[in-house]
Amino acid sequence: MTKPPRQTSQPLLRDTEAPVRSRPRKPRDPAQPQLPFDPMPDRIEPCLALLKAKPPVGPEWAFEVKWDGYRVAVHIGPKGVRILTRGGHDWTDRFPAIAAAAKELNVGTAILDGEAVVLDAQGRSEFGALQRSLGGRGGKISSDEAVLYAFDLLYFDGHDLTRMEQSGRRHLLEDLLGESQGAIRLSQEVEADGDAFLSAACEHGLEGIIAKHRDKPYRSGRLGDWLKIKCIQSDSFFIVGYELSTSAHGGIRSLLLAARRGDELVYVGSVGTGFNERDLVTLRKTLDKLKTKRAPVAVTGKNIVFAQPTLIAKIEYRAWTDDGNLRHASYKGLREVQDNAAVYEMDE
């Protein structure tokens, strides 16, 4: 018999019991001269979650909601705040509310790892809404709507925490952020059976959950210390062309998608849903600038226009067909170059 999820402060999971909180820390003095300080790194390559079909089992695993936005690191230092994307680009000006909230934290130096998101009316992160708030792919608009859900603390008051186990970093992060509901919020850890928590997350329309090994240090890359389990599959694919339409707004019936297989690109089907009129017009203009007579993938058909594999789209889908195509695919938006999104890799 599985135990039900315990309560977090997340509005989507209010029907459960609150987790035990660590006791408040005493006020910190970031200028303590007697402590040995670690140099603050300019950037830390992020720890990435490995996709799994089912949640892990065992007391060594902690669970959180999987947020759907842009992975960022917030650097707080004596000279101010920097917000870096997963690819290392400075987006401080794009997230002014998060930067302002970081300046108000009771800390001298810190690096927060988290996800910048825009929430819908039900408190769910919505990738498309985040993109629109930033002016779309390649836009230069600053998003006042975006908030940061912080889920790790990598540097703190002059000390590198990456060698500390996850449970210790978590303790310090909870003490730093508390129950804040401003532009920087704590991504709550949920003490629950993984299957039960995944079921609850899916029922609330969330993308999925994250599992983290409590005893592991912070290691860059996709090494299995963190796992992601999704309710609906979502991955990034190259757009390699489109199918013309004489009736659809923007003239696009569907987008042609490709994944990587070694050094080659492989056709994985098309997507014809999830667009609005503005998306279609923008995509048509952009793809027409990338037209190529050379087919990037092996696919034939009428009214097909091929494009150089430059644009990367986020796609939700239910499953794969036996012949290697996406089933029930839906377009969710274009990934930013600065987001350093990894295109789906197929087995060789």
* pLDDT tens digits, 250-284: 789 899 999 999 889 999 999 999 988 888 888 99
What residues does CATH 3.30.470.30 cover in the chain?
A: 11-230
- What pLDDT is recorded for position 35? 56
Mean pLDDT of all residues in 328-342: 81
User: What is the spatial distance between Cα 348 and Cα 346, in angstroms, rounded to a whole number?
Assistant: 6
- Residue 269 identity: G
- What pLDDT is recorded for position 291? 93
Nearest to 156 by CA among 123, 186, 114, 112: 112
- Give percent above pLDDT 70 in the chain: 86
Nearest to 292 by CA among 256, 253, 333: 256
What residues does CATH 2.40.50.140 cover in the chain?
A: 233-339
Residue 64 main-chain phi, psi, to 5 deg: -140, 165
- What pLDDT is recorded for position 138? 64
Nearest to 189 by CA among 13, 3, 1: 13
The residues pairing with 44 across neighbouring beta strands, listed in sequence order, are none
| Domain 233-339 annotated CATH 2.40.50.140 | yes
User: What is the spatial distance between Cα 189 and Cα 212, in angstroms, rounded to a whole number?
Assistant: 10
With a cut of 70, say whether residue 25 has pLDDT above it.
no
User: What is the spatial distance between Cα 15 and Cα 12, in angstroms, rounded to a whole number?
Assistant: 8
3.40.50.720, 3.30.360.10, 3.60.21.10, 3.30.470.30: CATH of 11-230: 3.30.470.30
- What pLDDT is recorded for position 194? 94
User: What is the spatial distance between Cα 221 and Cα 285, in angstroms, rounded to a whole number?
Assistant: 36
Contacting residues for 304 by C-beta, under 8 A, at least 6 apart: 241, 242, 243, 244, 256
The residues pairing with 286 across neighbouring beta strands, listed in sequence order, are none
Please say whether the beta carbons of 304 and 241 come within 8 A.
yes
- In the chain the first and final C-alpha atoms are separated, in Å, by 40
pLDDT in tens, 232-245: 888 999 999 999 88
Q: What is the DSSP letter of 36?
A: P
Which of the residues are catalytic?
A: 66
Report the chain's mean pLDDT, rounded to a whole number: 87
| Helix, strand, coil percent values for the chain (each to nearest 5) | 20, 35, 50
